Every structure is written in C-alpha cells, then in structure tokens.
Chain A
C-alpha cells in the first residue's frame, strides 16, 4: 500500500508469472487479460483524474471461480479491486495498489424473477437498465434510479448504496435489498439475508455490505424487492426568480400531503444551457427550476397535479406548466438531461459533488455555493434532488491550469464544510472512495472510523480488497 495516493500511481508488482498461471487455470485463458492496452483500459473509472494500472484483469463467470481467485490473492497478499462497469464517480473502481481488477460484467444473468412474491434474484453483473427492461415485461419496476443506469451493475449499485431522483418517494438501494451471496477473502461463499422484507436474524449483514464500496466482500448475487409499475404519471415544471421560493415550494408540497415520485432542481446555469440546447421557452433570468413527477393511480395523479401546481404558485413561481401528454413530459426530462450534460462539455475537468443537507436548508446551501463561486472565481452549476436534499454542485475547472484547479479545490472544500455546517453529509449517493477520503475525518468521529477499520479486519484480515479507499 503506497503511503500517499497520487493521482497517477505505479506500484511494485505482485502478480508473478506463477500467479498468472493460477489465474488462467481458474478463469480460463479468455478470462484473464494482461496486455498494456487492457491494463490501461482498467485504470480509470467515472472520476476525472484518478488513474492506476492493475497487473491483471480477470473476468470470472461464477462464485466458485471468484472463491478460488480470492484464495490465491489472499495467499499471496495481492490487492483485488472489484469492478462492475466502473461508472462510479468517487474512485471506488481505481486499483490504486495495483494487483488484480476483478470484473463482474460476464456474470450478467437474471436468475429468478418471482413476480408473485415481488422479488428478483440477479447476478452481480446485471446492468440496472437491463433489469428494468425485463421487469417491465411483467408490469414491474425497480425504483432506485441512479442516473448511470444504462451501464451501472447491480453489484456496483449495492456497493455504493445507489439512489437517484426517485429516492424522495421510493428510497434507495438499501431499502430494496433483501439478500445476497458474497465471497469472502477466505474463499467462503456465504448467503446473507433472505427473500423477505421482514428478516431479523442476527446483525443486518446485507446492509453492512450495502455501501461498503467493495472493501468487505465480493458480491456475486443479489435478491431485490420490486414493485408494480404505477398506472399513471404526470410531470410539472415550475420556474422561480429566486431560490428561496423554490425551496418554499418543495416544503409546501411535501408538508401538505403529496409525495411526488421525483422533485428535481436546476439552477440558472443549467436553465441557460437548456435554452441553448433543447429550448423550452424558459425565462433565462430564472434562478431555479423544479421538475416534479407524480405517479400512481390516474385519479390520484390528477388530484396531485392540481395540488402541486397550486403550491408552486403559492410559493411565488414565475410560471407553472403541467405537461399535456407523455411526449411533452419526455421533452421536459430530456431538456433536464441536456442541461446537465452541458456541464460535461463546458470545461476540461468537472468536479461534481454529491452533498446532502436537510431539505429546509437547500436555499441556504445554494446561497453558500454561489458565494463560494464568487469568492473563488469559479463557475459552479447546481442540479439536485430537492425532495431529499441531495444536491450536485459541479465545479467547472481544468486540472492542467494549476491556479484555477487550486481555486476549484478550495470551492470544493467550502462545499463540504457547508454541508456539515448545515447538519448534512459530504456524500449522499456517490460514496467516499478516493475522492472524499481526506474529508472523512471531518464527517466521522475517530471512534467511528476505528469501527470501520476493525470491521474491515474481520472480513479481510490481510486488507486485499480495494485497498486505499474510504479512510486514510
């Protein structure tokens, strides 16, 4: 383990020729890749600047293979970094200590869809979008919707306890996790949890693994709870000339008996990008836009649409528009995606954060972000899940411009301080990984961090699984 982790690291080799032969015997000749191009292709993830080369990339197709692979790695003390699609944005998939990258993407079977009991069991490498496509055939859906769903794997989502816009009404991955099968570094293949919602048999081990970012065990199978897809949905767009009014609108909606499926907030920067890319006729001086989605029975959706529209007007919205039909609703959501995507063309390096504050503090937090943007002279775009206080301020910068990058880092530190000051957290969805390692001690007491270290020792005494992540 290197004492300090630089953005681009090289390590002392630990995968010898003899070990490589063992890996090939276990995973098959097609299951191990070591060419320079392969190692480069597995050195990055969804973060902008982290890069570390593994020594071998392995593609197991069964829990038994993973068991034997881990036993070999454990015997020789070789680091193992598990990877689904590597879409995470906290550096969780970066093999900073070298060693083996263990890719789960070839374990992509849906094993059992039990529609009568509303459960589904999948291999860890199933892509979330593929799961929902399969569920849709039976009128079901899996609510948690991290926006990486086109590529993210179930194993990865569970490891990061992912969530998305649907969280305000439907919750996040841990709320749907019933059971799993994991492989420990000893090689033991262990079933945790079960297939029922109510299950209190010993400590809640699946929940411990959920959000453990690949540090405790390798997930091979997951059993999830699914739901019936609601019959009707409606989208409402509201624009505001100041952020506080948008915050008031959210509060009024939530406190008067309506629970929208999604409440998404966009700031003035994003509004302007929407008007540039897929114009909706929004006022370009508007300081905030809220997109609500309501779902349920047609009758309740109709009532809730009126209620939400009225609350927004009450809160001082400049304009409130309920989409007339599915086509217009799609256009609203596509515009939101286009507006946010514009962030990624706007600067060479984007530092996208993922803080969460209590819902009532959203306006204060956004004011603070604007101040940080002014003081540090950097552009910060804000998009967020207003319903649960999870906001994504994105700092636009350029890692090759040292001075600008330093100012961007300062703004980021200010963002974390603000989140903690307002009784929030530094990561709502993305995890700690590498990106927020240095901020962990601001968020957790030393005793809590010790608990993390000690639990890790129980699962992984030699510390081979995803070393260098979460804590220093």
Chain B
C-alpha cells in the first residue's frame, strides 16, 4: 500500500485501460463496470455528485474489487484503484443506508471474540474442530529442548487459524519453537481487521488495530501465517497515521510484523520433513502475499530446500482464488476464478498444494473437493509434517 495521496485520486486515472489486463475479475466477465478503470470513473462522478451513491448498481459495482493491487502495478500513472474503491466503500459506511447494520455486525467481533466461530461456520466449507486453538495448546510455548535460545516472538494466528485451521497454527508454532524461539500468543488480540477495512468499515478496523497494538508487548518479531492478516498488520502504520495517540505505536508494531515464510528465511531456518516419502507439491501465491507484501520467493526457497520433494510451478501460480469477493461479485465471479485455479492445480499433478492464506486454503479445499481432485490443500507449515 502506498501513502501517496495523489495516487488515490480517481481523477488521476487517464483511462488507458492497462488495468483491464491483470484484473482477475475483468478477466472472467469482461465487464467494464467491474474493472478498476470503470470504478475510477464511477467513483469520480459520485464524488462530483453526478452519480448517486444510493444507486444499487453503483454500490454493486464496488463489490467487484478484490483490492489486490494488480492494477496499480501496471498503471502508468500509479493510480491505486484498490484504495480508491476502499475509500468509496468507506463513504457508504459513513452515509449509506443498511451499512449501520453491517457495522454493528462487525462490532460484535470486538465485543465477543467467539462470535467468529458462528461466522466461520456460515462461511467456510471446512470441517470446524470442536476446540479453538487456545483450548488445545498453551499461549506460551518455550523453545524446544536442546535448541539455543534465539529470541521471543509473538504469534498472531488470525481468526481462521485460531478457530478453524488449528492444525496449521500448531504446525507454525511448533516449527518456531523447534528453531529456538519462545512463542507468545497474547490473550487480548482480536481480528486483524483486514476484511473489515477492505469492506469500508474503517472505524471498526481502526478499533481492532488499536486493540491488537495494545495487546502486544515487547518481542523480537510478530509472526503471522495468514497473508491477509500480515498485510493488515503491516498496514497499521498507514491506518493509524492520523491518530496522534497511536501513530508511533502503530509504526513500531507494524515494523515487527513478519509473514511466517518471510521470517524463516530471514532467520535462516529451513525445517525438514520428518518423513522420507517422496511427494510432488506446488505453491499458490495469495494476493495478500505477492501483491500486498511482495512475498513470493521466500516460500519457494523454503519448499525447494525440502528433501524428497519435487516442486512444480502450476500455471499462473499467482492467479487469484476468488475468495476475497462478497455479495453479487462472489455469486457471479468467484466460482469462475476458483475453477481456473483448480484446473491449474490438477494439471500440475501435484499431490499437495501449499499456500499461506486462510481464505485461499478455504477456497482451494472447497474447489479441489468439488472437482474430485485428490490434491491436499495445506498451509506451508504443515508440509514439514507430511
């Protein structure tokens, strides 16, 4: 995310159309209304009151943005269309009808962390364990016996890894302990706020950021295994830049955040598999990993260092899985995007597809199951146990 205000002005868009090329959504239905350029024009006109923000078709067009950043990467004028869409959504939350109800639902998570479980039940197709993560393990994990102490890290699981994909969370924590790190999982953290921010409820997202910043005390690094969470936590600096009470704390917090793969490679930690069984695997680049954090070589470095593993690149490893859409866009576009990914996975003939985002794991699991593929979908930390 860039902080340049000029790049977030829709008027800066010169309508060259380059953004149509990498946009995963436009690539499915070829509808300009669902493209960065189309939205830039709509939002520009809405700002000038030439388009009514109450118009349902305007509100619907905003749903079709993944806020993935591919458009900004190719834009000659460096327009950040994802930020422009997010700001337009935030405008709806401030002024639109029906958005108060959505905001109240988002606030529930702040009031009661366990309300996440209900949401996950509704959204994911993944089997939900009976116990949340911290009913299965302790919050403080000592470095493994026989390792030299390398420091203390805070582990930020994120909602899905805490309540649904608990095996992946445990795998991450154990590998960090095995590398000599003490792992601390703070009590009072809440949702990272990524989806809340992206959907436009910036007030609630900022509240979540403040809670998380307050919950984390001294540590050498903050590790997260979910690319979406990582992108959010690294953005707290930007989100809270105008908050005089939190700006400095946010900067200090964000500067410590590391994606799990990013951290392992930085610390020269290359876990090995316990089993000697040969296996073919492939990697899926989450949008929030490659395009938001520029992390795509570290996971490959880790995977390619594994013994008895054949690493194959699937076609378009960095194509979006489609899970990040909601509303009409989710109904109309997500399935098409997921189908392309599942095709690529099956064509790669990999026995396991590895990635680092809770949303992606959810989508790819569902897609592979529906397509009858035997490929296993997992977090990168789980490959060490395979």
A contacts, CB < 8 Å to B: 33, 35-38, 40-48, 59, 85-87, 103, 105-106, 108, 125, 127, 129, 148, 150-152, 337, 340-341, 344-345, 348, 350
Q: How distant is the Cα of A59 from the Cα of B34 in the complex, in angstroms?
A: 14
- Determine if B15 and A38 form an interchain contact, defined as CB atoms under 8 angstroms apart: no
| B132 contacts partner chain A, Cβ-Cβ < 8 Å | no
Q: Which of B16, B55, B61 contacts A87 (CB 8 A)?
A: B16
**Is B21 part of the contact surface with A, judged by Cβ < 8 Å?**
yes
Would A344 and B57 count as touching, CB distance under 8 A? no
Q: B33 an interface residue at 8 Å Cβ cutoff?
A: yes
User: Are B76 and A341 closer than 8 Å at their CB atoms?
Assistant: yes
Is B6's CB within 8 Å of the partner chain A?
Answer: yes
Q: How far is the CA of A59 from the CA of B42 in the complex (A)?
A: 20
**B76 with A337: CB separation less than 8 A:** yes
Q: Which 5 A-B pairs have the closest CB atoms?
A: A35-B57, A341-B76, A151-B17, A37-B57, A105-B30
Given contacts A38-B33, A41-B61, A151-B18, 16 further A-B contacts (CB under 8 A): A33-B33, A40-B42, A41-B32, A41-B41, A43-B41, A45-B15, A46-B16, A59-B31, A86-B15, A148-B17, A150-B74, A151-B16, A151-B20, A337-B76, A341-B76, A350-B14
**Which residue of the partner chain A has the closest CB to B13?**
A344
Taking the nearest CB of chain B, how far is it from the CB of A84, in angstroms? 10
B11 contacts chain A at the CB level, 8 A cutoff: yes
Which residues from chain A contact B77 at a C-beta distance below 8 Å? 341, 344-345
Question: Within 8 Å CB of B45, what residues of A?
Answer: 40
**Cβ contact within 8 Å between B38 and A36:** no
B12 is an interface residue with CB less than 8 A from chain A: yes
Flag if A106 contacts B30 (CB, 8 Å): yes
29 A-B Cβ contacts within 8 A?
Answer: A33-B31, A33-B33, A35-B56, A35-B57, A37-B55, A37-B57, A38-B31, A40-B33, A40-B51, A41-B32, A41-B41, A41-B42, A44-B41, A46-B15, A48-B14, A48-B15, A87-B16, A87-B17, A103-B30, A105-B30, A127-B21, A129-B21, A148-B16, A150-B18, A150-B21, A341-B77, A344-B16, A345-B78, A348-B11
B60 at the interface (CB under 8 A from A): yes
**B22 to A, closest residue via Cβ:** A150
Q: Give the docked Cα–Cα distance between A48 and B13 (Å).
A: 10
A430 to chain B, nearest CB (A): 13
Taking CB atoms, residues of chain B closer than 8 Å to A35 are 33, 56-57, 60
B58 on the A face (CB < 8 A): yes
A37-B33 in contact (CB<8A): yes
> Could you tell me the distance between the alpha carbons of A41 and B38 in the complex, rounded to whole angstroms?
5
Give Cα A17 to B77, complex, Å.
41
A residues near B14, Cβ cutoff 8 Å: 46, 48, 344, 350
Bound form: Cα–Cα A340–B14 in Å = 13
Known contacts A344-B76, A345-B78, A85 near B20 by CB under 8 Å: yes
A-B contacts at CB below 8 angstroms, number = 92
How distant is the Cα of A199 from the Cα of B11 in the complex, in angstroms?
Answer: 48
Instruction: Please report B residues at the A interface, Cβ cutoff 8 Å.
Output: 6, 11-12, 14-18, 20-21, 30-33, 35, 38, 41-42, 45, 51, 55-58, 60-61, 74, 76-78
The SS class assigned to the A binding surface is loop
Contacts of B38 in A (CB 8 A): 41
- Alpha-carbon gap, A405 to B20, bound state (A): 30
From A106, which residue of chain B is reached at the shortest CB distance? Answer: B30
Give the chain B neighbours of A37 by CB distance below 8 A: 33, 42, 51, 55, 57-58, 60-61
List chain A residues, Cβ under 8 A from B6: 345
Enumerate chain B residues within 8 angstroms of A103, measured Cβ to Cβ. 30, 32
A48 to B55 CA separation, bound complex (whole angstroms): 25
The residue from A33, A38, A46, A345 contacting B12, defined by CB atoms under 8 A apart? A345
Residues of chain A within 8 A (CB-CB) of B17 are 46, 85-87, 148, 150-152
Chain B residues whose C-beta falls within 8 Å of the C-beta of A59 in the assembled complex? 30-31
Once the chains are docked, how many angstroms separate the CA of A248 from the CA of B55?
59
Bound together, the chains give a CA A23 to CA B42 distance in angstroms of 25
Complex-state Cα separation, A350 to B58, whole angstroms: 27
Inter-chain CA distance A403–B16, complex, in Å, is 27
Chain B residues closer than 8 Å to A44, beta-carbon distance: 15, 41
Residues from chain A with a CB closer than 8 A to the CB of B74 are 150
A residues in contact with B15, CB < 8 Å: 44-48, 86
Give the distance to chain A from B82, nearest Cβ to Cβ, in Å: 18
Interfacial chain A residues near B20, Cβ < 8 Å: 85, 150-151
A353 to B33, CA, bound (A): 28
Residue in chain B with minimal CB distance to A30: B29
Contacts of B12 in A (CB 8 A): 344-345
In angstroms, how far is the closest chain A Cβ from the Cβ of B186?
43
Q: Please name the residue on chain B nearest to A8 by beta carbon.
A: B50
Q: Whole-angstrom distance from the CB of A76 to the nearest CB of chain B?
A: 25
Report the nearest B residue to A127, measured CB to CB: B21
CA distance A37 to B18 in the complex (A): 21
Chain B residues whose CB sits within 8 angstroms of the CB of A46 once the complex forms: 14-17
CA distance A36 to B6 in the complex (A): 28
**Which one of B32, B42, B55, B57 has the highest number of Cβ atoms from chain A below 10 Å of its Cβ?**
B32
Interface-centre pick from A36, A37, A151 (highest chain B CB count, 10 A): A37
- Bound Cα distance A43, B38 (Å): 10
Interface pair A36/B18, CB less than 8 Å apart: no
Interface centre among A87, A106, A125, A348 (most CB of B within 10 A): A87
- Residues of B with C-beta under 8 A to A105: 30
List residues of chain B with CB within 8 A of the CB of A348. 11
Which residues in A have their C-beta under 8 angstroms from that of B21? 127, 129, 150-151
Chain B residue contacts of A38, Cβ below 8 A = 31, 33, 57
Q: Which of A40, A129, A151, A340 contacts B41 (CB 8 A)?
A: A40
Q: Bound state CA distance, A123 and B42, in angstroms?
A: 30
Shortest B175–chain A CB gap in Å is: 37
Question: Considering the chains assembled together, what is the distance between the CA atoms of A341 and B14 in angstroms?
Answer: 10
- A36 in complex: contacting residue of B31, B41, B55, B76, CB < 8 Å: B55
* Nearest A residue (CB) for B12: A345
B75 to chain A, nearest CB (A): 9
Most chain B CB within a 10 A radius of its CB, from A40, A85, A87, A150: A40
Q: Across the interface, which residues of A come within 8 angstroms of B56, CB to CB?
A: 35
A423 CB to closest chain B CB, in angstroms? 31
Complex Cα spacing A46 to B6, Å = 20
